[in-house]
Every structure is written in C-alpha cells, then in structure tokens.
A and B are shown apart, each in its own frame.
Chain A
Amino acid sequence: MPDLGKYATEVLAAYGVSIALLIGIVWISVARARKVRRQLQDVEHRDG
C-alpha cells in the first residue's frame, strides 16, 4: 500500500466509490440482459 499522506481519505474514497459505480453498471446491465433474454425465449416458446 503506497503512503497516501494526508489525502488518503480523498484518494481511497474516489477509488472506492468509482469502482463500486463501475461494477454496479456492469452488474445491472448483465443481469437485465439475462432476464430479458429469458423473457423473450419464454414468449417465443409460448407462441411456437
């Protein structure tokens, strides 16, 4: 761990929140993609 000095809180907060936001948008996008793909398959299957 590098010595961040007196700005450690700011730097760590910036990294923590940013990484959480990036993981969040990827997670939400992938989860919704899977859900919508399943829904379409169900509807197509039902309609024959």
Chain B
Amino acid sequence: MSIWEYANPKKFIATTTPVIPWLFAAAGVAIVGALIWGFFFTPDDYRQGSTVKIIYLHVPSAMMAINTWVMMLVASLIWLVRRHHVSALAARAAAPVGIVMTLLALFTGAIWGQPMWGTWWAWDPRLTSFLILFLFYLGYVALWQAIDDPDTAADLTAVLCIVGSVFAVLSRYAVLFWNQGLHQGASLSLDAEENVADVFYYPLLLSLAGFVLLFLALVLLRTQTEIRVRRTRALLARSRRAAPEARA
C-alpha cells in the first residue's frame, strides 16, 4: 500500500471519516485537561506571578502557527510536483486554522507582554516575523478566494506558501539569529537545562498534544469539506453544460 492512495478523494474521505470524531474527542480531553491542570493546579512563577499560566495557551498556539505553515508548505510542494488535488485542498483547509493559531499567539503574547515587558507590542525580531507570518496567512486565504480556476489558485498559493516559509522559519529562529529583542528563547527544548520547570512542563506538554490533535482533526474535517465543495462545483458545471445540449 502506498501513501499516494490517499490522494484519491474518495479513499481520503472513507479513511478519515471514522478517525475525525476520535481526534476531536482526544483533543478536547487533552486541552481541557491541560488548561484545568495548568490554571488550577500549578503554582505562580516567582518572577512572573500568575501570568505564567498563559504559557499553556501561548506556546502551543505559537508552535502550531509555525507548524501549520510547514504542513501547508509540504502539501503545496506535493501539489506542485505530483498534482494531487487533495494535497492542494489540504493546504487550503489548514490556512484558517493557522490564522487562528497565529492570532492566538499574538494576542496571548501581547497580553502576557504588557505586565512583564511594560508594553503590548515591540518591534522585536520574533514578534515582527510572527506578525508578517499572520499577514502571509491572510494573503494566502485571500489569493485562494480571488482566483476562480482552482488549479491556477493552487499553483499561485503554493508559490506564495514557499515564499512565506521564510517568515515561518524566522518566527521560530529569529531569537537565535538576532540575539536582541524582548522575547526569550524556547520554552521547550531537547536540552533539559533550557526547559521550563517540571511543574509547568508536563501540563504544557499535554496542552501541546491537545493542540496537535485539534489541528489534525480540523485539517482532516476541513479537507473533506474542500473536497466536497470541489465535487459539488464540478457536478453543477456538468449540469449546466448538459442543459443546453438536452434542449437542442
């Protein structure tokens, strides 16, 4: 069996339909569990006070904002190379999820930054690259909407996605590239010394798992929707073409 079998829309829908409710349920349990754990059962940070509780929303949403764009990049490259419609539609389906994740990261970052940095916003490398990533998301969705021909739209948005990937990478590594600005380094790292304390780390991991599961559930569901929209349009177009022939 090959992974490319799932490029068949019918096979994709048949395979993903039974999985989606379980993904939503698992995501709900993980996110609700992590937020209850983090909000009610973790202590305040000795410097940041209770604002440390924002970490369970800010870090997972920021990670998913970047990873959603990476997923869109992979799907766009598959479209450009192999011309599988499902991959182009999956990239399209993921973009609004990425917008929400980026918005969440920007909002929770601003509301966390105000009491800690004394400002809602700074033109810091990571914050700025995140804002540009958000604008790329908006541009990506707008470009899909603006072009009628779906294959042309998929081609152009795929190119936009490749260009925007620069900012997805910058959003992740800006802190390392430019050792300046207000934003600190990674909260989660393979190096245990750099990680947040265990008491914050485990609920954060659970929240992260929940956000990943929610992303998967949403992208699969939204990809199914995009496949059905495409099928509906194709059937309507066929009916319109057949109608004058029938009258003649």
Q: Which among A11, A21, A47 is the interface contact of B104 at CB below 8 angstroms?
A: A21
Asked if A25 meets B108 with Cβ closer than 8 Å, knowing A2-B40, A11-B51, A18-B57, the reply is no
Q: Does B152 contact A (CB under 8 A)?
A: no
Q: Which chain B residue lies CB-closest to A19?
A: B35
Residue of A4, A18, A44 with most chain B CB atoms under a 10 A cut-off = A18
B245 → chain A closest CB, angstroms: 15
The answer to whether A5 touches B50 (Cβ under 8 A) is yes
Interface size on B, residues (CB 8 A): 39
Contacts of B111 in A (CB 8 A): 10, 13-14
Docked-complex contact A21 and B231, CB < 8 angstroms:
no
The interface size of chain A toward B, counting residues with CB under 8 Å, comes to 32
B232 in the interface (beta carbon within 8 A): yes
Instruction: Give CA–CA (A14, B116) in the complex, Å.
Output: 14
Contacting pair B221 A30 (CB below 8 A): yes
What is the CB-to-nearest-CB distance from B233 to chain A, in angstroms, rounded to a whole number?
9
Does A21 contact B103, Cβ atoms closer than 8 Å? yes
Chain B residue nearest to A30 in the complex (CB): B221
Per-residue contact bits, chain A 9-30, to B (CB 8 Å; 1 contact, 0 not): 0110111011101101110011
| Interface contact A15-B115, CB-CB below 8 Å | no
Residues of chain A with a CB closer than 8 A to B225's CB: 29, 32-33, 36-37
Hey, which bits of chain A sit against chain B, CB under 8 A?
2-8, 10-11, 13-15, 17-19, 21-22, 24-26, 29-30, 32-33, 36-37, 39-40, 43-44, 46-47
